[in-house]
């Protein structure tokens, strides 16, 4: 998996000449203004991405807005590339949402239209607050825009639905973002005043969780997997215990010898390696509004120490196989990852199955499409003076899906249920299932949960 350096001239859209059909469309004019704004002018790929998805939407060609198609046409990936191995589109759409928020909170504050990208890659055009404020005669200031987009009405979006009615997933994703932009800006889960679009701060989706992990009076460590350890365990067929990892005895066994194999193992044992998905997750986490102006440090699992888990907050990426520190908290957890290196299999053990739950969860295959599983767990740190968030999957895809669930999906149900009467979140675990497809990323869903 790799990212692509931006090249000069990359800001053109993939379909030559088609924007001429949109010259008189105010939505296209807005997209062009945004692409030339300070938030986008230094990132040709983001501008190209924005113009591509807006163009296809306005030309009613949204069937082309798949992750794979965008990767090929916008980011110049090979036609046969696998999105399960290269997440450049998902990474850039996160940045695109953040830059759009920055634009509409800054130079675009008074824009009569607004662009929002809910779950997926199809933009939504909404009337901005300046276009919904009626003048003295009671007429809207931009009547011509009402013909092509609908006005914003947040309150109606959250009125109880009649029994039997349904809302699409895309609508739910957008409505949830709208709710958080208002309710969470005024108070976690308890705001009494809805703000349509905050001017100075846009909370992220899992605002309640991130404010608990990124605090002003404590350090937060974001810990990536030790990919070197994972490779060594795969080769030797023996999994390191936490004690062996801490005292160095597992890595110390790979002394340099005369054979090429011993030389390679010795080199791997001395390297602090991680994987690209972890790197992308770390970048997104450290760019969250809640992490700004906080003491946030990125650590490879190999350089973390036990005292860090006593005094600070931490986000542990990966399972005990590549991040052995997870095993420190496993005795408090119901969903535990287990590895069988002889059979080359891994599974999640459900220690106390409830009605409708399985005792064991395993991947349904090794090639897409297949189901894989992840666990998200919030636990107190070792001194109960802070918090530790664990995001672990049976596969790299599972860990990535767990992170995307909190960063891009709709964790409102989980976080609301985990809210303590005293404020903040109480410890919880959630078992997620996701499907890995070669052409697109499928949202994870909660299939089991525990609250403490």
Judgement on whether residues 99 and 183 belong to the same structural domain of the protein: no
Q: For the segment 342-369, what is each residue's pLDDT rounded down to a tens digit?
A: 887 899 999 999 999 999 999 887 666 7
Give pLDDT, residue 101.
Answer: 87
**Range with lowest mean pLDDT among 163-172, 230-239, 299-308:** 163-172
pLDDT beyond 70 at 143 = no
Q: How many domains does the chain have?
A: 3
**Is the preceding omega at residue 46 within 30 degrees of 0, hence cis?**
no
Query: HEC profile for 108-121?
Result: CCCCCEEEECCCCC
Pick from 223, 202, 231: which is nearest to 341 by CA? 231
Q: What are phi and psi of 39, to 5 degrees?
A: -70, -20
Query: Would you state the structure tokens that stand for residue 199, as one six-digit string?
Result: 């001017």
Judgement on whether residues 282 and 418 belong to the same structural domain of the protein: yes
Indicate whether 90 belongs to any domain: yes
Query: Would you state the structure tokens that stand for residue 444, as one six-digit string?
Result: 């994870």
Judgement on whether residues 278 and 417 belong to the same structural domain of the protein: yes
Indicate whether 268 belongs to any domain: no
DSSP string, 195-211: -SS-SS----TTHHHHH
pTM of the model: 0.62
Indicate whether 78 belongs to any domain: yes
* pLDDT bucket at 16, cuts 50 / 70 / 90: very low
Judgement on whether residues 35 and 59 belong to the same structural domain of the protein: yes
Judgement on whether residues 324 and 396 belong to the same structural domain of the protein: yes
Give pLDDT, residue 342.
Answer: 81
Judgement on whether residues 190 and 282 belong to the same structural domain of the protein: no
Q: For the segment 411-438, what is each residue's pLDDT rounded down to a tens digit?
A: 989 999 999 998 899 999 999 998 866 5
Judgement on whether residues 148 and 165 belong to the same structural domain of the protein: no
Judgement on whether residues 171 and 130 belong to the same structural domain of the protein: no
The Cα–Cα gap between 133 and 220 comes to: 42
Indicate whether 117 belongs to any domain: yes
Distances (CA, A) of 268 to 188, 227, 260: 45, 9, 12
Q: What is the residue range of 301's domain?
A: 211-226+274-451
Judgement on whether residues 34 and 70 belong to the same structural domain of the protein: yes
């Amino acid at each position: 998996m790799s990212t692509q350096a931006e090249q000069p001239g990359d800001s053109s859209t993939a379909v030559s000449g088609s924007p001429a059909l949109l010259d008189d469309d105010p939505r296209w004019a807005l997209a062009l203004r945004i692409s030339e704004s300070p938030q986008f002018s230094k990132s040709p790929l983001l501008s190209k991405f924005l113009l591509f998805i807006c163009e296809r939407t306005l030309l009613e060609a949204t069937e082309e807005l798949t992750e794979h198609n965008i990767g090929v046409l916008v980011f110049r990936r090979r036609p046969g590339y696998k999105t399960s191995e290269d997440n450049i589109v998902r990474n850039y759409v996160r940045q695109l949402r953040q830059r759009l928020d920055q634009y509409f909170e800054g130079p675009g504050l008074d824009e009569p239209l607004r662009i929002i990208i809910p779950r997926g890659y199809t933009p939504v055009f909404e009337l901005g607050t300046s276009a919904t404020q009626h003048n003295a005669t009671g007429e809207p200031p931009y009547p011509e825009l009402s013909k092509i987009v609908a006005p914003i009405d947040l309150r109606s979006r959250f009125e109880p639905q009649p029994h039997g009615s349904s809302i699409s997933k895309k609508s739910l994703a957008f409505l949830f973002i709208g709710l958080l932009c208002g309710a969470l800006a005024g108070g976690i889960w308890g705001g009494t005043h809805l703000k349509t679009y905050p001017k100075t701060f846009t909370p992220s989706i899992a605002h309640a969780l991130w404010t608990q992990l990124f605090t002003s009076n404590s350090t937060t460590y974001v810990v990536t997997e030790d990919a070197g350890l994972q490779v060594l365990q795969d080769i030797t067929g023996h999994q390191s215990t936490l004690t062996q990892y801490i005292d160095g005895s597992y890595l110390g066994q790979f002394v340099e010898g005369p054979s090429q194999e011993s030389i390679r193992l010795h080199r791997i044992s001395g390297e602090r390696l991680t994987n690209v998905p972890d790197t992308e997750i770390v970048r997104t986490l450290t760019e969250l509004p809640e992490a700004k102006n906080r003491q946030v440090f990125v650590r490879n699992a190999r350089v973390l120490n036990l005292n860090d888990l006593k005094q600070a907050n931490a986000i542990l990426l990966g399972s005990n196989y590549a991040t052995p520190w997870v095993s420190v908290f496993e005795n408090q957890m119901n969903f535990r990852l287990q590895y069988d290196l002889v059979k080359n299999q891994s599974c999640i053990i459900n220690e106390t199955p409830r009605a409708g739950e399985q005792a064991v969860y395993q991947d349904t295959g090794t090639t897409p499409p297949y189901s894989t599983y992840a666990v998200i767990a919030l636990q107190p740190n070792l001194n109960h003076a802070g918090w530790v968030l664990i995001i672990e999957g049976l596969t790299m895809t599972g860990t990535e899906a767990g992170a995307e669930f909190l960063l891009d999906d709709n964790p409102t149900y989980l976080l609301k249920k985990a809210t303590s009467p005293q404020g903040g979140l109480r410890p919880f675990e959630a078992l997620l299932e996701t499907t890995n497809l070669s052409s697109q990323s499928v949202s994870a869903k909660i299939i089991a949960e525990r609250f403490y």
